[in-house]
């Protein structure tokens, strides 16, 4: 089998690398990263990749130097990233963060490769297009979000038309018990501490604000095709149960596992087989108890916004995600407070309601990009008025 990894130097990328390094039977075609060229070069040498690509033109010389004498091809920039996704391969890990991950995944599907999809933004912004593209090229998309991999696994051998509901869990993040007043003063450093998962900076903050779960509700709808009313999110602070699927006879099939993304990645890598994976085995007696609680929409409005976006359909997902990315940047830059993020996203989507295109069906990648850019500039205007 041949594989390529997009976003190899990130949190998901490193977990993927950890599985690939144990598999000498797998050929690595392309690895891509951002500014961390030393790590990208190390990975490329260790996996004997054919090609290493940095997303940034100005990092080209450093990557070239780091790979001198290795025989590994080097490239840089957005075009090179796209070209890398067109290189013949069988399995592609999509683990770039943000809307930038959309185009490479799309091209990977066009060559018929299996797309292991960690980049949830692809489904949130262009779900119908991505699913169509997979169908057209007889390519498969395998979910690599822990909740979605869990749902996928709970559905093996089942008749999806007999599914009543799907429940995805959320840890509740570091601010689960914080009051509204305290949340208003939450700092970046505080938002960066996730109780259970070790992830990239952006998704960690999205977990604290519940925007990650908001994206995941939309992701569930787009990937599995369930109606919004069938999809629920529940707080489960231990992050042991990742998702549950409820059938019409009342049975709930739950997926449990240690909070380690190598499980979902490994499942997608070996699917439909199950291979041995280096993940911790659960000691249930030691864990003792699992608890669940309803999310509080007052303190965490992101889930309500996701429901509005699901009702709007069309390009609302692209607008929502773009506004969320701008909100995150503004919070990281100290321009807006923690709760300003949800306020900004809501104001951006509302302000776009009267513009042409928000609820038009998604039929081409270009219109998704246009909406993404429109929402980003609108959100940036609103940030200036907020700060």
For the chain, counts of helices (H) and of strands (E): 17, 11
Sole window of 17-25, 143-151, 298-306, 374-382 interacting with Mg ion (rule: CB under 5 A): 143-151
Please give the sequence-ordered ranges of beta strands (E in DSSP) within 77-216, or none if there are none. 91-94, 114-117, 141-143, 163-170
The least CB distance from residue 46 to ligand NAD, in Å, is: 16
Interface residue list for ligand NAD (CB under 6 A): 7-13, 33-34, 55, 95-97, 100-101, 118-121, 145, 197, 199-200, 202-203, 261
The size of the interface with Mg ion (CB under 5 A), counted in residues, is 3
- Long-range contacts for 345-349 (Cβ within 8 Å, ≥24 apart)? 345/211, 345/302, 345/305, 345/320, 345/379, 346/301, 346/305, 347/382, 348/319, 348/322, 348/323, 348/375, 348/378, 348/379, 348/382, 349/305, 349/308, 349/309, 349/312, 349/316, 349/319, 349/320, 349/323, 349/375
Measured from the CB of residue 145, what is the shortest distance to ligand NAD in angstroms?
A: 4
Q: How far is the CB of 197 from Mg ion (least distance, A)?
A: 8
144-173 mask for Mg ion (x: CB under 5 A)?
A: -xxx--------------------------
Which of the choices ligand NAD, Mg ion, none does residue 50 contact, using the CB cut-off of 5 to 8 A by kind?
Answer: none
CB atoms within 10 A of CB 316: 25
> For residues 133 and 145, which CB has a smaller minimum distance to Mg ion in the complex?
145
DSSP conformation letters of 165-189: EEEEEE---TTTT--HHHHTT--HH
Instruction: Please state the closest distance from residue 125 (CB atom) to ligand NAD, in A.
Output: 11
Q: Which is nearer to Mg ion, 28 or 125 (CB)?
A: 125
240 binds, among Mg ion, ligand NAD, none (CB under 5 to 8 A by kind): none
Local structure of 89: helix, strand or coil:
coil
Closest residue to Mg ion in the complex (CB): 145
Which C-beta is closer to ligand NAD: that of 16 or that of 89?
16
Which spans of this chain sit near Mg ion (rule: CB under 5 A)? 145-147
């Amino acid at each position: 089998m041949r594989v390529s990894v997009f976003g190899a130097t990130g949190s998901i990328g490193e977990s993927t690398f950890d599985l690939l390094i144990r598999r000498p039977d797998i050929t690595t075609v392309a690895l891509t990263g951002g500014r961390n060229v030393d790590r990208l070069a190390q990975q490329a040498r260790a996996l004997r990749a054919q090609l290493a690509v940095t997303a940034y033109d100005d990092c080209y010389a450093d990557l070239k130097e780091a790979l001198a004498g290795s025989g590994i091809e080097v490239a840089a920039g957005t075009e090179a990233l796209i070209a890398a996704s067109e290189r013949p391969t069988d399995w592609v890990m999509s683990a770039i963060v943000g809307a930038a991950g959309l185009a490479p995944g799309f091209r990977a599907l066009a060559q018929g490769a299996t797309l292991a999809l960690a980049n949830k933004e692809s489904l949130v912004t262009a779900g119908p297009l991505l699913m169509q593209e997979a169908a057209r090229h007889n390519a498969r998309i395998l979910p690599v979000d822990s909740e979605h991999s869990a749902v996928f696994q709970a559905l093996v051998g089942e008749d999806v038309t007999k599914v009543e509901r799907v429940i995805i869990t959320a840890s509740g993040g570091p601010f689960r018990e914080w009051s509204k007043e305290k949340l208003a003063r939450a700092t970046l450093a505080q938002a960066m501490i996730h109780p259970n998962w070790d992830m990239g900076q952006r998704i960690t903050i999205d977990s604290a604000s519940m925007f990650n779960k908001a994206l995941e509700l939309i992701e569930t709808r787009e990937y599995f095709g369930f109606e919004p009313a069938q999809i629920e999110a529940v707080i489960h602070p231990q992050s042991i149960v990742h998702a549950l699927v409820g059938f019409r006879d009342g049975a709930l099939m739950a997926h449990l596992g240690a909070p380690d993304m190598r499980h979902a990645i490994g499942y997608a890598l070996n699917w439909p087989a199950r291979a041995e994976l280096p993940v911790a085995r659960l000691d249930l007696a030691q864990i003792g108890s699992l608890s669940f609680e309803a999310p509080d929409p007052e303190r965490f409005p992101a889930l309500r916004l996701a429901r509005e976006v699901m009702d709007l359909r069309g390009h609302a997902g692209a607008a929502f995600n773009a506004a969320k990315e701008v909100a995150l940047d503004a919070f990281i830059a100290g321009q807006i407070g923690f709760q300003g993020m949800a306020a900004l996203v809501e104001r951006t989507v509302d302000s776009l309601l009267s513009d042409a295109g928000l609820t038009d069906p998604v039929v081409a990648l270009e219109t998704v990009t246009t909406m993404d850019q429109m929402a980003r500039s609108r959100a940036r205007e609103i940030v200036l008025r907020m700060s």
